[in-house]
A = this chain, B = another copy of it.
Amino acid sequence: MKPFVAALFATMCLASIGSASAQTAAPAPAPASVTEDFKPSSVNQPGQQYPQVNSQGIARFKVVAPDAQSVKVSLGLGGRGGTVLTKGADGTWTGTTEGPLDEGFHYYHLTVDGGTFNDPGAMNFYGSTRWESGIEIPAHDADFYALKNVPHGRVEQVLFHSPSTNTERRAFVYTPPGYDKNARERYPVLYLQHGWGEDETAWSNQGHANLILDNLIASGKARPFLIVMTYGMTNDVRPGGMASFDIKPFKTVLVDELIPYVDANFRTLADANHRAMAGLSMGGFETKLIAPANLDKFAYIALLSGGTFTVDDVNKTPGFKEKVKLAFVSFGSRELEGRGMGGPPGGGPRVDPRVSAEAVKQAGVNSVFYVSPNTGHEFLTWRRSLRELAPLLFKD
């Protein structure tokens, strides 16, 4: 990893690694009593009764493994190894998280006799460089990403040839409702990146980006635009760490190959003022490396739990003040708890990203800062961030 990249990534990691504990923590204290109104999680496999969630946000697991010696669930009290299941007379293992989990989507897996397996009851989602089990703790504001009877856009799998990698690569393109019928209209495009260990399926599977846009468009809150989602770890580091990370291969695929492909094959408005780049976590890190260095391509830039913009960034990036129409930064509130972030790495003074965003605004940039209440480095933060971001994009 080049030093510049390493430094930027270290900054980003303050958010992502620092909040990894939030992902598995039970932030609220254990309630005095557990309300027995458990229902199957909404992302269970068809017909599966477990895992379940109650109205307090407490999760209960049930796994059949009659001859196993131990079964654990990676969700629950982070520091204490998750939730240990206990074996019943019928050979099933059950357990309940000690306290409520944060609202929203959580990845998890089982440890059965020392091996890592998925919960047969839950659907799988690509995260942590593997297909993990997922559970959904119903959010009080879940309506904004609910599947409703409104006009729906499509999520289109495209396969494009990439000369630089000599592969056929996959992207998903959200086309808004009416895209096919309004055959003379052209649309702006948001390039939207997943986080480390995830892939191009994340934003539609666990992010519900399509449903968020469907609902925003139906209520007149966002302008119809395309969303393009592709795999961002081009110099494939799965399943290892980030040691070999290099932004160049992905930058080439995105800027030199995918953008021209999308502009040639979809009815886009193919200029910087109608193109945005955003990403979550590592995807925000990539966004910050790519978009400011390509302001002839992108005028809207958003980092979701993936770093901040500083006045220094603005001053040292040619054209930033003049060309950037929006510099959007968001975090989950748990990522900010007890910690300032976004300052220079290596022991310099830590700058609270709220302060940094305000300073960027004072410097004359349309800087918007959003904090998702009571969420950590997880998808409810990013669903909400997209809900906040989308109405701000492409204001001609």
Q: Give the interface of A toward B (CB within 8 A).
A: 45-48, 63-70, 91, 110, 112-118, 120, 123-124, 129-131, 147-149, 152, 154-161, 168, 180-181, 183, 199, 204, 210, 236, 238-240, 265-266
Task: Give A301 Cβ to nearest chain B Cβ, in Å.
Answer: 28
| Residue of B whose beta carbon sits closest to that of A63 | B115
Structural contact, B149 and A161, CB atoms closer than 8 A = yes
* Candidate in A65, A148, A210 with the most chain B CB atoms within 10 angstroms: A65
Structural contact, A46 and B236, CB atoms closer than 8 A = yes
Structural contact, B64 and A265, CB atoms closer than 8 A = no
A156-B156, A239-B46 given; A123·B131 CB < 8 A: yes
8 pairs, A vs B, C-beta closer than 8 Å:
A46-B236, A47-B239, A65-B113, A69-B113, A112-B117, A124-B131, A154-B158, A157-B157
Residues of B within 8 A of A116 (CB): 64, 120
Residues of B within 8 A of A45 (CB): 130-131
Task: Give A207 Cβ to nearest chain B Cβ, in Å.
Answer: 14
| Residue of B whose beta carbon sits closest to that of A197 | B46
Residues of B within 8 A of A152 (CB): 158-160, 168
Task: Give A70 Cβ to nearest chain B Cβ, in Å.
Answer: 7
| Residue of B whose beta carbon sits closest to that of A233 | B46
Residues of B within 8 A of A46 (CB): 129, 199, 236, 238-239
Cα–Cα, bound, A236→B158 (Å): 30
Q: Which 5 A-B pairs have the closest CB atoms?
A: A65-B115, A67-B113, A152-B159, A66-B114, A68-B113
Cα–Cα, bound, A240→B152 (Å): 31
Structural contact, A183 and B183, CB atoms closer than 8 A = yes
| Residue of B whose beta carbon sits closest to that of A181 | B265
| Residue of B whose beta carbon sits closest to that of A265 | B180
Cα–Cα, bound, A131→B157 (Å): 21
In-complex Cβ contact of A114 among B65, B118, B157, B181 (8 A): B65
In-complex Cβ contact of A117 among B47, B118, B156 (8 A): B118
* Candidate in A115, A161, A180 with the most chain B CB atoms within 10 angstroms: A115
In-complex Cβ contact of A115 among B48, B66, B149, B154 (8 A): B66
In-complex Cβ contact of A112 among B112, B238, B239 (8 A): B112
Task: Give A327 Cβ to nearest chain B Cβ, in Å.
Answer: 32
A118-B120, A159-B152 given; A112·B64 CB < 8 A: no
Task: Give A323 Cβ to nearest chain B Cβ, in Å.
Answer: 30
Cα–Cα, bound, A68→B148 (Å): 45
Structural contact, B239 and A113, CB atoms closer than 8 A = no
Cα–Cα, bound, A251→B349 (Å): 66
A113-B66, A117-B117 given; A147·B159 CB < 8 A: yes
Structural contact, A69 and B70, CB atoms closer than 8 A = no
Cα–Cα, bound, A330→B325 (Å): 58
Structural contact, B168 and A149, CB atoms closer than 8 A = yes
Structural contact, B120 and A117, CB atoms closer than 8 A = yes
